[in-house]
Structures are given as structure tokens and as C-alpha cells.
């Protein structure tokens, strides 16, 4: 009978014998788990050499001797000599050390599972009969895809310490939410959500997940920030996994820092899952690269609800791409500030409403026309405003091949 266990190798010595391609693949796994890895081999491949240079592992360039296993918690025999691998497995058994024999799994005392991680859960698949790496990887990948698509309820069944996970859900399209973000939603007992971002994913949650809507709009703030902080802390202190679902990225004008501070001040564990910020992704989806060689080499991201601050004015005047979030209402003040700073009246401006969604709309103009155009087309938030040459709708069609690359350009 095969009994499966999970071994905690973080901070524990692991010995790898051999330094070819098989060993290199396995070494990364142990390093990722935090093990103290020593590789013993007369010659090492490039991947292992690189890990040694960066200090991730220790390499001893010589042949293996039985005493090398003393003190090890786990051994991988992965040389290109079948007889030597079998001999190492025998040394490990004499010392009661778990060992994988890469040549013949039946000769060792452990087998490597094909693993996938999903937040607080990991899935491992291994062969019970003759080793079949291709098959177990196919099973692992199928199970992982099912989990990461949000099809599995990952909530804890046993009570435990509550926690908060700040999840950036991206600009709105559920497909642009990170895998870790989807996993966190599947772990949630409570979701505290904004009105922007990938909120349509809320319909996929089990019916008994508590959803609290604290979404704000430019002229309506029904739940003040201190109350949001209180909700997060109290629900977590009650033993829940609380997901704070935010549009874009939590740390890009999402007040995520305040929420993390409130949790830590209350002793609540908190994790931050970065999201794709709308400041970069929404222009990209509208065919606007915020940087382009020969056109714009820097980008300034700012909040526009109060108009253009001095740094934003300076960036526009210097020719940088300037991206305003929450700036629709203040658009006339932004334009006035740019013109007063000496920006050309013909400088392109683009406004992207509801970026990444089925309701996306892009309005183009220039500094001297955009206010009137936005009024005529009834531009409304949420919208991203891009000011700069990259906002020219014909910019990507322009030939910049002749533009010399600055020294050091990657």
C-alpha cells in the first residue's frame, strides 16, 4: 500500500547527487520550497551553475561518498549512472533518509509528485505503478486548470485564524484577473467589494459567501474608508477569510495601504495580491502604449479628481505620457493647466471609458478640443485619460524604425 505524505523541507538539508538536466529540474522545486540544497557532482550543468553563483544552492564538484548523506533529511539520486543511483538509494535506506531514485522509482523510498499550488492548497499527482511522468503531469494540469478557473470551493472546512486578502481584480475583464486572485476568491468566506473591477465574478461564488458592497462613485461615498477598515478587521477577527476585491491594483490609488495598516494594527494577517492596473492596461487595450521608443520614454500616473497637480503638469510639459485616473470631472482644469505650462494645443488626448469591458469607448481629441468633444459625446466615469503623443490614434502606424535607440536600450 502506498501512503502519501507532505514533507516540510523548508530550512532542512537536502542532498542532490548529479547535476544534469533531470537534477536541474528537481533542484528548482526544492529551492522553491526553501530547502537547504547541496549538489554533489564532478560536473554541473549551466542551470545549476547559475543557481550556485546566485547563492541559492551549494555545489561540491566531486564524486559522492556515503558520508555525504549524514545529516540530510532528503536525498535525490539523479546521476546518469543507474548502478550508482541504486547504490545511493541503499545508503539512504541504511540511514533512514527518504530518497528518490531517478533511475528506478521502485528502488527509492519516495517518489516525486507532479505538483500545482493554489493559494493555501496544493495538489500532487504521482504514479503508483511504473513511473509515468507524462501521465501524472497531464492529470495535474487538468486538475489545476479546473481549480484555477474558480470551479472548486476552496474555503476552509475547519475553523481557524481569520485573515484578509487584498485582491486587485484588474480593469474589469475577468480574464485579466490573476490566477492567485481567482484562487483567493474561491477561498473567501466574505468578499468586500468595490463597484469597479472584475465584479461579475461575484456571481460564481457559493450562495452562502457574504458579499458586502462598499463601492464608491465620484459623487457618492456610501461607506467611508474607516468603516471599510472596520468591516475587514471585524470579519477576519471572527475567523473568516475576507477578500477585499478592488479594481485595478490595490496599491495604485486603491487605498490598499490604509487597509493593510488597519489589519496589521489589529493583529490580523493580511496578504496583498497585485492586480493589473487600469492605468497601463486600459490604454494598452485601446491600442495606446504608454511608452514607445522615439515617442515617449516615461509615464506619469496620477489621480485627476482635483485636476493636474504640479508633478503632472511638469510631466506633460516635459513630453512624458501622463495618465489621469478619476479625472473626467476635472478635465477642463487638467487642460487649462497643461496649456498654461506651455504644452502644444495640438497635443493628443485620449479618454477610455469602461476599459476592457463590452462597454468600452475611446474618445480622441487634442488639448484644445478634448473638453468640447467630451461634452458632445457625454463622456462619463469610470474613464482613463491619456495625454501625450502616444494618444495619437495613428501613432502605431508611424514608422519609427529610423529612430536611433538610446544607449543601453534593452
- Residue 194 bears catalytic tag: yes
- pLDDT in the model for residue 114: 87
pLDDT at 120: 84
Cell numbers at 291, concatenated = 511608452
10 is catalytic: no
C-alpha pair distances (Å), 186 with each of 33, 144, 306: 24, 13, 37
Report helix, strand or coil for 231.
helix
Structure confidence by residue, pLDDT tens digits, 339-351: 999 999 999 999 9
CB under 8 Å to 46, separation ≥6 — which residues? none
* pLDDT of res. 382: 92
Counting as low any pLDDT under 50, the low residues of the chain are 1, 401-402, 406, 408-410
Q: Give me the catalytic one of 104, 216, 336, 368.
A: 216
CB contact at 8 A, 107 and 82: no
Task: Give the per-residue pLDDT at 278.
Answer: 95
Q: Annotate 139-200 with DSSP letters as a single string.
A: HHHHHHHHIIIIIS----SS----EEEEEE-BSS-GGGS-HHHHHHHHH-SEEEE-SSSSGG
The pLDDT of residue 222 is 77
What are the respective helix, strand and coil percentages of the chain, to the nearest 5?
35, 20, 45
* pLDDT confidence of residue 111: 87
DSSP summary character for residue 396: G
Which among 194, 246, 249, 392 is annotated as catalytic? 194
pLDDT at 28: 87
User: pTM to 2 decimals?
Assistant: 0.79
Q: What's the CA gap between 355 and 196, in Å, rounded?
A: 11
To 10 degrees, what angle do helices 225-237 and 256-265 make? Answer: 40
Name the CA dihedral angle for 274, 276, 306, 320, rounded to a multiple of 10 degrees. 120
The confidence score (pLDDT) of residue 94 equals 96
Tell me if 130 sits within 8 A of 50, measured CB to CB: no
Buried b (16+ CB within 10 A) or exposed e, 64-76: beeebbeebbbbb
Amino acid at each position: 500500500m502506498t501512503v502519501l505524505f507532505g514533507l516540510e523541507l523548508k530550512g532542512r538539508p537536502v542532498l542532490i547527487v548529479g547535476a544534469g538536466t533531470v537534477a536541474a529540474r528537481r533542484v528548482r522545486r526544492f529551492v522553491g520550497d526553501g530547502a537547504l540544497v547541496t549538489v554533489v557532482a564532478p560536473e554541473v550543468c549551466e542551470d545549476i551553475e547559475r543557481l550556485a553563483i546566485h547563492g541559492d544552492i551549494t555545489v561540491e564538484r566531486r564524486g559522492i561518498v556515503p558520508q555525504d548523506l549524514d545529516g540530510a533529511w532528503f536525498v535525490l539520486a539523479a546521476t546518469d549512472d543507474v548502478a550508482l543511483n541504486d547504490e545511493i538509494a541503499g545508503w539512504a535506506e541504511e540511514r533512514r533518509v527518504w530518497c528518490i531514485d531517478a533511475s528506478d522509482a521502485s528502488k527509492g523510498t519516495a517518489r516525486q509528485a507532479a505538483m500545482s499550488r493554489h493559494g493555501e492548497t496544493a495538489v500532487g499527482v504521482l504514479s503508483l505503478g511504473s513511473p509515468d511522468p507524462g501521465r501524472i503531469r497531464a492529470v495535474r494540469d487538468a486538475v489545476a486548470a479546473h481549480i484555477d478557473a474558480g470551479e472548486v470551493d476552496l474555503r476552509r472546512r475547519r475553523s481557524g485564524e481569520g485573515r484578509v486578502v487584498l485582491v486587485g481584480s484588474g480593469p474589469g475583464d475577468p480574464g485579466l484577473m490573476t490566477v492567485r486572485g481567482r484562487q483567493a476568491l474561491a477561498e473567501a468566506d466574505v468578499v468586500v467589494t468595490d463597484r469597479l473591477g472584475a465584479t461579475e465574478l461575484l456571481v460564481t461564488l457559493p450562495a452562502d459567501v457574504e458579499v458586502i458592497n462598499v463601492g464608491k462613485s465620484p459623487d457618492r461615498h456610501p461607506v467611508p474608508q474607516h468603516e471599510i477598515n472596520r468591516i475587514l478587521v471585524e470579519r477576519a477577527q471572527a475567523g473568516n477569510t475576507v477578500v477585499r476585491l478592488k479594481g485595478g491594483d490595490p496599491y495604485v490609488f486603491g487605498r490598499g495601504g490604509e487597509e493593510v495598516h488597519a489589519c496589521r494594527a489589529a493583529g490580523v494577517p493580511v496578504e496583498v495580491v497585485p492586480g493589473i492596473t487600469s492605468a497601463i492596461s486600459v490604454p494598452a487595450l485601446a491600442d495606446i502604449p504608454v511608452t514607445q521608443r522615439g515617442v515617449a520614454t516615461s509615464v506619469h500616473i496620477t489621480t485627476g479628481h482635483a485636476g493636474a497637480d504640479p508633478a503632472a503638469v511638469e510631466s506633460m510639459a516635459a513630453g512624458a505620457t501622463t495618465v489621469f485616473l478619476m479625472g473626467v470631472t476635472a478635465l477642463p482644469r487638467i487642460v487649462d493647466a497643461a496649456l498654461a505650462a506651455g504644452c502644444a494645443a495640438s497635443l493628443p488626448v485620449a479618454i477610455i471609458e469602461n476599459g476592457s469591458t463590452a462597454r468600452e469607448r475611446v474618445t480622441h481629441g487634442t488639448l484644445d478640443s478634448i473638453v468640447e468633444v467630451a461634452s458632445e459625446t457625454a463622456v462619463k466615469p469610470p474613464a482613463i485619460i491619456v495625454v501625450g503623443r502616444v494618444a495619437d490614434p495613428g501613432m502605431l502606424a508611424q514608422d519609427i524604425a529610423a529612430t536611433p535607440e538610446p544607449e543601453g536600450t534593452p
